[in-house]
Chains A and B, each alone.
Chain A
């Protein structure tokens, strides 16, 4: 079965400093992995996706993630945090089969301090 574990429920950084949100996955086959962001009372926006092409994936708003099969990790990074990055972030794995249903991690709340 597919699953993801987000290692931090809350991350706090200062504006202008790097961001690291950690995610480990478990999958019985080569997974498709995603990061989504959710601002308060809003739906989810896709930041980036990994689908077995390049292991370093670039997304929107300066975010990127690196797929490491040996570590079963898919950590999200950004060189310099902006106040507008404060939100909930979800690491997601495709559930497999033909449906494409998504399996979400518990989420990491990113706080950005001025």
Chain B
């Protein structure tokens, strides 16, 4: 169990640019989640995959955001035409499919928009 891995840890970009983050879950976990955490707040749910299927998306996930998990293993989160308000920590978590399985979090990707 190597834990949930996220890459990069930090990303600084100019407004209007596209960015992509990667998450590698714990290998035997079927479920994968993305959350966003702004300064001084708790994380907020963005989206959820079970295997390769994206089963739920939050209203926070605007059209500029897209997430994929093509082979049911790693996932990517892309933000197009970044805005100042996108600056946040993006957290990935994974879990098994049993009832109330705990979610294991990565260390996150901190996005700063200049």
On A, residues with C-beta under 8 Å from B are: 32, 34, 36, 41-46, 49, 51, 90, 92, 94-95, 98-107
Contact = CB atoms under 8 A, between A and B. Distances in A.
A49 B100 contact: yes
Interface string B19-61: 0000000000001010100001111110010000001100000
Contacts of A92: 42
B105 A101 contact: no
In the complex, the 3 A-B pairs of residues with the closest C-beta atoms, listed nearest first: A104-B42, A43-B105, A44-B105
A94 B42 CA distance: 14
Nearest to B41: A106
Contact of A104 (B33, B43, B48, B95): B43
A51 B42 contact: no
A90 B42 contact: yes
Given A42-B107, A43-B106, A102 B101 contact: no
A90 B91 CA distance: 15
Given A43-B108, A99-B55, A107 B41 contact: yes
A100 B103 contact: yes
Contacts of A34: 102
B1 to A, nearest CB: 14
Contact of B100 (A43, A51, A101): A51
A100 B102 CA distance: 9
Given A90-B42, A95-B45, A100-B103, A44 B91 contact: yes
A107 B43 CA distance: 9
A37 B78 CA distance: 27
Nearest to A94: B100
A32 B98 CA distance: 13
B11 interface: no
Nearest to A45: B105
B79 interface: no
Given A100-B103, A104-B42, 17 more contacts: A36-B105, A43-B91, A43-B105, A43-B106, A44-B43, A46-B103, A51-B100, A90-B42, A94-B100, A99-B55, A100-B95, A101-B45, A102-B33, A102-B93, A104-B43, A106-B41, A107-B41
